[in-house]
Chains A and B, each alone.
Chain A
Amino acid sequence: MKKKLDFSAIARSKVTWAVVAEALILLVCLFVRPEFFSISYQPSTGMLYGNLIDIINRSSEITIIAMGMTLVIALGGTDLSVGALVAVSGAIALKFLRWDVTIYNTPGDYTVYSFALVLIVPLVVCILMGMFNGFLISKGEMQPIIATLILMVCGRGIAQIITNGKQFTTQYSPFRVIGQGSILYLPTPIIITAVVVAAVAIFVRKTAFGTFVESVGINRKASRLSGINAQRIIFIVFTLTGFLSGISGLIYSSRIMSNDSNNAGLNFEMDAILAVVIGGTSMTGGKFSLVGTVLGSIIIRTIVNLVYYFGIAAEATMAFKAIIIAVVIVLQSEPVRNYFAKRSSARREAVKGGAKA
């Protein structure tokens, strides 16, 4: 049975509003200062430049984490530890790069331990931390907010202790490529994000994993009674989110070529949750939209970039972010969506009635 385009359902869908919001923001920009949209090529670095590129580039850390966060929220939970894991990931990477820091104090284009370790150990540790969360929540049956709060509180402490409270820097070129290099004319983070998004999307939609996540999120007991291993689903989702936080941490620390355990990942969990919610996934769990989340993350970054671009004081960034998010949330709220859906179906009824006559 082919479905006809259901306009009132589209008006009621949250993803629609995300698209509308982003489009509106960009449209305003187009009128006021079209140069915002210019894209140029810099032969010296071999990559494309431009505000649009920058938006997608700088939203990478959040988008990657938000892929995992979408599934967490679809299960009806939240993962507050992601920001702390970003800090831990960067700390471990820099530790392996600069294990000599007591002997040599000048950062150079070298790494003390093999680059493979620099990349793999942070990811492994973040996977383990994700498993810790997953275990507490699936087998331990703890509430996700509380369980992940533990690592959120501890995590930065652990990151600090790894580097003994110090901030290491490095000049190692292969490490620089992650956050500041380019592949196929685009900044590396964009490519990494694209790969991650594609991988998660395939895993979730081309297998039945996504359906199981939605099912467990809506009714864990009924899912279990239907033969679904809810504990395994939950465990996998939180482990995955930990892993993604690790990747994000590598990108973050590569951008600044150091580990900033105080600021790395600060508020990332909030931004990721916002991205997911703006993208249309409900915090009560159930149906989710990865596309919506990507859009949500881009919207958040667009606001920040626009603020800088229009020369509005950087201090105002947060206020702006807050106002626009507030508007999107209100527009997405049930009463408002229903109002618009009613109006569109009423209009269609009127048109139909008129056509009949």
Chain B
Amino acid sequence: MPENNLLEMRQIEIQFPGVKALDKVDFTLRAGEIHSLLGENGAGKSTLIKCLTGVNRMDAGTITFMGNSIRPQSPQEAMGMGISTVYQEVNLCPNLTVAENIFVGRQPMKHGQINWKAITKRAQELMARFHQDIDVSRPLSYYSTAVQQMVAIARAVDVQAKILILDEPTSSLDDNEVQLLFDVMRDLKAEGMGIIFITHFLDQVFAISDRLTILRNGHLVGSYDIGDITKVELVTQMVGKDMDTIFNLKRASVAEDAPYMLNASHIGSPGQIEDISVAVKKGELIGFAGLLGSGRTETAEMLFGAHRATSGELEVDGKKAEIKKPYDALVKGIAFCPEDRKRDGIISDLSIRENIALAVQARKGFLHPLSSKEQNEMADKYIKALGIATPDAEKKIGELSGGNQQKVILARWMATDPKVLILDEPTRGIDIGAKAEIQRLMLEMCGEGVSVVFISSELDEIIRCSNRIIIMRDREKVAELNGDEATQEKILSIIAEGAKAAGGEAS
């Protein structure tokens, strides 16, 4: 029904130097619907959205918003028209209070001065609408990411937005927080707002959307009502390949008498993890499952020395080891790929080659530099082995896509020939094709005798790849299963028991 269309984008085309980013893409959004926009990295999702928010200029095509043709030239203009965006890195000011963040730039005035009373009152009312009874005069940085996102949405709503674009809003939320977000989205939908929901989490897409649109390599693959497509079909459309082929992976085989490469007994650090023991055999892959906040990253950081363990003992390859800082772990043969690659992984202005060689160089110390020849050989080897998409090794890593950046970081650690490789959410924020590649790589490394510790929030990945699964809950290890005995239901119920006991803390 065209009259219901809030937004119509027709035949959008954008050409960047060397690549056609969008090729005759159509997208429509109705009032009062939640519409998911899906596609792998590089498919064109953010490019399309940037046309709408005034960041990109279209080469061809039209945008019709509420019956009028528009061409926003800047984010401010788009916002003024009623198109608001909430980004993954909540773009608010951490030093201002919650109330201020909602009203900054358009504060209600009284007698030529800012009316602080009105701001506090209205902010309180707004946040109450979103089921957040928080103190709005505390600085924003006091609150968790989930709450901050609510504040960002509150601001968008208060400026009378007609279209709300949510760009990867659930990446740092736990399940409770995601449900809260969905409740808010449903409320807004009921008030007639059109919501564009961009995400990599397919389960969430099916839980919340009314319609979805799939892009692939800058082309429109199709728009569907949610009832008309299954998850399998969806993935196939996104990737263009058969899901079975991608995920035809087998767990590593581990010898019964394989020695323990890493044996951590009762390690702990006050305020982080009290007491945990982890043991990994040679060539084995251990998966860590658990909710956000269960302590998996903290455990990994202690194994690697990013956080000092104050109690317990660590043995690497049978020998006692004291690991106080990452360098110590590196020297002993432990490698760690952190969760937030942008913040903790990539050195953005250095080249791919320099990034790959970094850990090996750090282990040798600065007085023993790797020769250019050695560095180039290393870079070429891993660019080929991991299929990193780049014309040459000198390109700055900051210019690569998320998936390729992750591969470079992985290469950095693989280059150290580790005995133990710890990967914290290596497939987060990466398209399906690259996810499968990384899982295959992990298993290959197991085959070559490397022990892998794999932390992931996606249970199907954990179950598919792990020989053993450790389940964590509230900073404690609660169970250990064999990979072939594990099912999603089993793991979820083990995790769920813990959440019930803790009560309503998470909200």
Q: Identify the A interface with B (CB < 8 A).
A: 1, 3, 206-209, 211-212, 214-215, 218-219, 221-229, 233, 286-287
Contact = CB atoms under 8 A, between A and B. Distances in A.
A268 to B, nearest CB: 28
Contacts of B306: 224-225
A227 B369 contact: no
Given A227-B363, A228-B362, A219 B346 contact: yes
A226 B326 contact: yes
Interface in B335-352: 336, 338, 343-350
B326 A224 contact: yes
Contacts of A211: 350, 354, 358, 361, 366, 369
Nearest to A216: B347
Contacts of B343: 219, 221-222
B362 A226 contact: yes
A206 B370 CA distance: 10
Interface of B: 304, 306, 325-327, 329-330, 336, 338, 343-350, 354, 358-359, 361-370, 392-394, 412
Contacts of A229: 325, 327
A227 B348 contact: no
Nearest to A1: B392
A40 B358 CA distance: 50
11 contacts: A3-B392, A207-B366, A208-B365, A209-B366, A215-B347, A222-B343, A222-B344, A226-B326, A227-B330, A227-B358, A228-B362
B349 A221 contact: no
Contact of B394 (A3, A225, A286): A3
Contacts of A227: 326-327, 329-330, 358-359, 362-363
Contacts of A225: 304, 306, 326, 336, 338, 344-345
Nearest to B365: A208
A304 to B, nearest CB: 33
B363 A223 contact: no
B334 to A, nearest CB: 10
Contacts of B412: 226
A277 B229 CA distance: 58
Nearest to A213: B366
Contacts of B364: 208
Contacts of A214: 347, 349-350
A221 B344 contact: yes
Contacts of A222: 338, 343-347
A352 to B, nearest CB: 14
A208 B348 contact: no
Contacts, number: 87
Given A3-B392, A209-B366, 5 more contacts: A207-B367, A208-B365, A208-B366, A225-B344, A227-B358
A327 B343 CA distance: 36
Contact of B349 (A1, A223, A226, A286): A286
B85 to A, nearest CB: 25
7 A-B pairs closest in CB distance: A227-B362, A227-B330, A208-B366, A208-B369, A209-B366, A286-B349, A227-B327
Given A225-B326, A227-B330, A212 B366 contact: yes
Nearest to A211: B354
Nearest to B306: A225
Contact of A219 (B330, B347, B368): B347
A219 B348 contact: yes
Contacts of B347: 214-215, 218-219, 222-223
Nearest to B358: A226
A13 to B, nearest CB: 13
A229 B365 CA distance: 9
Contacts of A207: 366-369
Nearest to B398: A218
Nearest to A231: B325
Nearest to A345: B17
A185 to B, nearest CB: 36
Contacts of B370: 208
Nearest to B362: A227
B496 to A, nearest CB: 33
Given A207-B367, A227-B362, A215 B327 contact: no
Nearest to A210: B366
Contacts of B344: 219, 221-222, 225
Residue from A211, A226, A229 having most chain B Cβ neighbours under 10 A: A226
A249 B348 CA distance: 37
Residue from B347, B365, B370 having most chain A Cβ neighbours under 10 A: B347
Contacts of B354: 211, 215
B312 to A, nearest CB: 21
Contacts of A228: 327, 358, 362
A222 B326 CA distance: 11
A283 to B, nearest CB: 14
B350 A226 contact: no
Contacts of B393: 1
B372 to A, nearest CB: 11
A9 B350 CA distance: 15
A37 B365 CA distance: 46
B330 to A, nearest CB: 4
B349 A287 contact: yes
A218 B326 contact: no
Residue from B338, B358, B370 having most chain A Cβ neighbours under 10 A: B358
Nearest to A212: B366
Contacts of B359: 226-227
Contacts of B368: 207-208
B366 A215 contact: no
Nearest to B391: A1
Contacts of B365: 208
Contacts of A221: 343-344
Contacts of B361: 208, 211-212
